[in-house]
Amino acid sequence: MVDTAHRNTDGTGVEGVAGGVGVTALLVAAARALETHRPDSLARDVYAEHFVRAAPASADWPVRPREVPSGEANPLWGRFARYFGLRTRVLDDFLLRSVRVGGARQVVLVGAGLDARAFRLDWPPGCVVFEIDREEVLAFKHRVLGGLSATPKAARVPVPMDLRADWA
């Protein structure tokens, strides 16, 4: 894979999204954006493209199927996006079933990255979505979604925490 991440000189990683976790979050967001624009889309995330375009490290990555070299045969952007489309759909369905049928009222997204479920899914009243990730990742997400005037469809609680660190 070509190194498309632009590292800051202070060692914090990709501008606006820190380190490898940030790059992973951007890759997954790009995959969700690609899936969103497919005619037979399994999952829709209208915010994913905005995350990808807002980060200098990923601003030129494909976010629409017509932008993918070799189309679906492309191992990264073609197959990768389909996998994350399916994964997104399975998790969306599981979480919504858990709150609608199972009675859960709290959803915890560990390593939330640029996940926008609090904004894009139709949560029943009284649901709370906790998003756990590094402060820099959550701040980047907040800035992008704020610029879009996006409103969460559930109570949203960002929890800044570096999951790589010792919790004791």
pLDDT in tens, 43-73: 999 999 999 999 998 999 999 999 998 877 7
Statement: 13-160 belongs to CATH 3.30.420.10: no
Angle at 88 between CA 85 and CA 91, to 5 degrees: 150
Q: How confident is the model at residue 16 (pLDDT cuts 50, 70, 90)?
A: low
Residue with tokens 């070799």: 70
Structure tokens, 22: 């940030």
Kindly report, residue by residue over 128-145, the tens digit of the pLDDT.
999 999 999 999 999 999
